[in-house]
Amino acid sequence: ETLDEFRAAHKYNLLDEHVRAFNAQIPIFGQWDDHEVTNNWSLSKQLPATYKERDITLLAARGARAFHEMYPVRPKLAEPGRVYRALNYGPHLDVFMLDERSYRGANGPNLEESYGPAAHFIGPEQMAWLKRALMQSRATWKVIASDMPIGIIVEDDAVNHKGSEAIAQGDGPARGRELEIADLLRFIKTAGIRNTVWFTADVHYTAAHYYNPDKAQFQDFEPFWEFVSGPFHAGTFGPGAMDNTFGPEVRYVKAPGPGRQNLPPSAGMQFFGHVKIEGTSGQMTVTLRDRADTALWSTVLDPKLG
């Protein structure tokens, strides 16, 4: 819980020769989420008595400092420690890295019918930045790297089935944090922004979701894909229940299933995604793989022109 303890938690992973080999070969762009501080944290998090430091704001500050020391992010003078940013990979790819932890409201019921602080997830300032960045992008593909999935229901308290940790909270019209997503999807459609794809993780399994407005409760958006993959080396869970607000179709899923939760890495259900963009055509091939590098599922996306 001290700054040195947060630093040590990061350094512990570097004792593993496989992690060091991976780091030596693969560029890493850090995106933080809950476990850089504590499980499912928001600024309303009530920490148990087992914590020596129970001020979540102080813990988050220490966790953020350790994160930035281990995964350097180019600083922004206007907001030191900012995580969200755009990564430009030439004519075919821009990646928009989001921070869905720092600006969220409490992990409450998530049922607000109008937008306000309790329904914040991305938050107004980051949302304004994202809209501007998407409008300015000239890349073929606009990848939105989201900490958490859109349509999978993730409970804050899974034991007692209380609160929302992510965006979805159940079937029906857009409510709570879904109001931000509805606003963003409507903006993308109205502004004529093409070829947006969402990449996400967090839920400890792998899946491919196609969001279809014809099957959605909120329908004012263009269809898009969301690809979920993880964990890289942690317990495997899922699959989670889906929320029909934005019409997700589960095109592929691999997860332990009921009665087989929190499987160890030795069970082999560790996942990652591989994305390839063909230089001439701009076609994007997304492949979901397991720890043995077995291709589990793949799809080829043709870019929309114009």
Pair (214, 66) in one structural domain? no
Q: Which of 63, 78, 93 represents a domain boundary (last residue)?
A: 78
90 and 68 co-located in one domain: no
According to the model, what pLDDT value does residue 295 have? 98
Geometric angle at alpha carbon 272, from 269 and 273, rounded to 5°: 140
Query: Does 293 reside within a domain?
Result: no
Instruction: Looking at the structure, tell me whether residues 185 and 125 fall in a common domain.
Output: yes
What digits encode the pLDDT tens for the residues 167-190?
999 999 999 999 999 999 999 999
Tell me whether residue 288 is in a domain: no
- Based on the fold, state whether residues 230 and 92 are members of the same structural domain: yes
pLDDT at residue 75, as a whole number: 86
> What pLDDT score does 34 carry?
94
Provide the pLDDT confidence category of residue 142 given band limits of 50, 70 and 90: very high
* Structural domain of 33: 1-78
CATH number, residue 111: 3.60.21.70
**Residues 145 and 164 placed together within one structural domain of the fold:** yes
pLDDT above 70 as % of the chain: 100
Same domain, residue pair 72 and 99: no
pLDDT for residue 44 = 83
Same domain assignment for residues 234 and 255 = yes
Count up the domains in the chain and report the number.
2
**9 and 140 inside one domain:** no
Same-domain pairing of 45 and 185: no
Tokens encoding 16? 């593993």
Looking at the fold, whether 69 and 101 belong to one and the same domain comes out as no
Indicate whether 265 and 127 sit together in one domain. Answer: yes
> Which has the closest alpha carbon to 40: 151, 119, 123, 156?
156
Residues 94 and 72 in one domain: no
Give pLDDT tens digits for 88-107: 999 999 999 999 999 999 99
Whether the per-residue pLDDT at 204 is higher than 90: the answer is yes
Note whether residue 305 is domain-resident.
no
What is the C-alpha to C-alpha distance for residues 95 and 74, in angstroms, rounded to an integer? Answer: 15
Which helix (H) or strand (E) segment holds residue 185: the answer is helix 178-190
Indicate whether 39 belongs to any domain.
Answer: yes
Q: Regarding beta strands 224-228 and 248-254, do their DSSP bridges make them parallel or antiparallel, or are they unpaired?
A: unpaired
Q: Is the pLDDT of residue 78 over 90?
A: no
Q: Which of 78, 109, 124 is the last residue of a domain?
A: 78
